[in-house]
Amino acid sequence: MRRRNARGGISRTVSVYLDEDTNNRLIKAKDRSGRSKTIEVQIRLRDHLKRFPDFY
């Protein structure tokens, strides 16, 4: 699915399955930050890819 994002670019939808512990950590993080779960995932994934661009 393609749609425009807030930056004016094209965004992609990605679905993931999370184990219960990871999901609970994500929920706690989004509650602390006041962001939605979707935005929390976007920020954390973007940050990880910047920190570890060639990690494979």
Q: How many CB atoms lie within 10 A of CB 40?
A: 19
Q: How confident is the model at residue 44, as a pLDDT?
A: 97
**DSSP secondary structure of 8-56:** SSEEE-------HHHHHHHHHHHHHHT--HHHHHHHHHHHHHHH-TT--
How many other CB atoms sit within 10 Å of the CB of residue 23? Answer: 13
Considering the entire predicted model, what is its pTM?
Answer: 0.75
pLDDT tens per residue across all 56 residues of the chain: 556 666 677 889 999 999 999 999 999 999 999 999 999 999 999 999 999 988 66
Q: What per-residue confidence (pLDDT) applies to 35?
A: 98
